[in-house]
Each structure stands twice: as C-alpha cells, then as structure tokens.
Amino acid sequence: MEQNSLWMILIFAVLFILIAVILYFQRRKQGKFDERQELMQGKASRYALYTFCGAYIVYILLRAIKGEKFLPYSMLAFTISVFLGIVVFAVYNIFHDSYFTEKQRPASYLIMSAAMILSQSANCVKIFRGEITLEKEPGSIYWCSLICAITFAIVFAATLIRIILSKKEQE
C-alpha cells in the first residue's frame, strides 16, 4: 500500500473516532428518540437488511451464471452491498423524521458527511485522473474510498434536502 493511502486511512480513522465521540456526547444531551421514531428505525433496519441481502444475492447469481470470472469481485460486491444497506437506512430515516431527535440539529451530520467525503477525496481524485485503474484491483482500498465517498455524498444530499423541505414546511 502506498504512503498516501496509509495517511488517508489514518485521517479517516481519526475523523471517524472524533466524530463518533462528539456525537455520543451530543446525543446524551439531546434526548432520546420517541416511539414513532424507534418504529421507523426498525423499518429502516429491515429495508437495509433486505437491500444488503438482495444486492449480494445479485452478485451470487452473476457469479453462478458467469462462473469464476466474478470471483475477484467478491470483496467489492460485499462492500457495495453493505454501503447500499447503510444508504437505505440513513435516507429512509432522514425522510421519515427518525434520524434526528427533537433537540438535534442536522448541521452536525452535514459536517460529518462532508468530512467523510473530504477524507476520501484524495483517492477519488487519483481514480478520476486515471492514475489508478480499478479494473486491476477489484478489492482495493481505492474502491472502498470511492464507495465511501459516494455513500456519504448521498447522506449529505439527503440531509440537505430534508433541511430545505423542513424550512419550507415551517414557512
């Protein structure tokens, strides 16, 4: 693994731990979810699980049909399946008002999503410039960087859209 990738992983880990600690202490101050929100989170969890299983089953079927040609992509398929589940869970909860408690402000989640996107940006830039060819390394950290950046970009966009819609509803 090259030096840049190691630094990006280190930055990602430090940012993730820092944001998790901040969110933990904020959540203690900001209250708990109400019963409706917990029910919606349960639904979102089921949908996320179904999405994960469905995406991975598609990979298994492709592998069964095409044979060993898809074998190198097993880690990539698993990663995509996990991140698809995360996107379904987050977006469902954001649009059903069960992602934030009454006292929480979505701005902290926008900042977290932006930080995650930026932490993966160096590897993504290398991919888009053509410095890295993803076809040669289907299970590499570069794929994970790209998938992670896309996932958090979707969560960022969903949170931003929800903030805008909430402001319009209040007016």
- DSSP assignments along 7-51, one per residue: HHHHHHHHHHHHHHHHHHHHHHHS----HHHHHHHHHHHHHHHHH
pLDDT in the model for residue 118: 83
Higher pLDDT, 128 or 104: 128
Whether pLDDT at 31 is above 80:
no
pLDDT in the model for residue 88: 94
Whose tokens are 């996990």? That residue is 82
pLDDT in the model for residue 51: 94
Write down the mean pLDDT value for the chain. Answer: 80
Output the DSSP codes for 83-142. HHHHHHHHHHHHHTT-SS-TT--THHHHHHHHHHHHHHHHHHHHHHHTSS-GGG-TTSHH
Which range has the worst mean pLDDT, 35-49, 99-113, 127-141? Answer: 127-141
